[in-house]
Each structure stands twice: as structure tokens, then as C-alpha cells.
Amino acid sequence: MNLTEADYVFLVDPWWNPAVENQAIDRAYRIGQQKKVVAVRLICPDTVEEKIMKMQASKRNIADDLIKTDESIFKNLTKADLLDLL
């Protein structure tokens, strides 16, 4: 399969680590890609996949707080946040 010819990327099985999904999308943008690429996430409500997406969002928010803010992230972290990281 030649990913430089891909028009669409369908993510149907989300992974707890959003970087893995981003890498799958980025592979369609390899050198030589001339077209726009559409990435589609197919998530049904009330499924394990929806729970994974919520976990990804939570982890993304914590990571953004660690990287982007000057104030101490530890002031805003709760016990539940710390346990979710494990």
C-alpha cells in the first residue's frame, strides 16, 4: 500500500496513547503526498472506545498543563488525576 496516495485515514480502534493515532495519520502525509488527507474517527456511544477517547482527552489535558503553564501543575492535580496516570 502506498500511503502517499491515501485520501482518508479511518481510526476505528482507538488506542490509549493518542501519539499512536497521530503517527498513523502522519504516515499519510509522507513526502510526495499531493492531496489533502481526511482523518475520521469512528466512535460509537457507550462503548469501550468512547471510554478510551475520554481517557485520551484527560491525559492530553494533563500533558498540556504540564507543558504550557507557568504555575505549578501540582496545585491543580487531584488524587484521581494521579491515579488515572497509572
Mean pLDDT by 10 residues, the chain (86 residues): 71 80 80 80 89 85 71 72 78
Q: What is the pTM of this model?
A: 0.55
Q: Can you spell out the DSSP letters for 21-47?
A: HHHHHHHTT-TT--S--EEEE---TTS
Report whether 38 contacts 65 (CB < 8 A). Answer: no
Which pLDDT value is given to residue 69?
Answer: 55
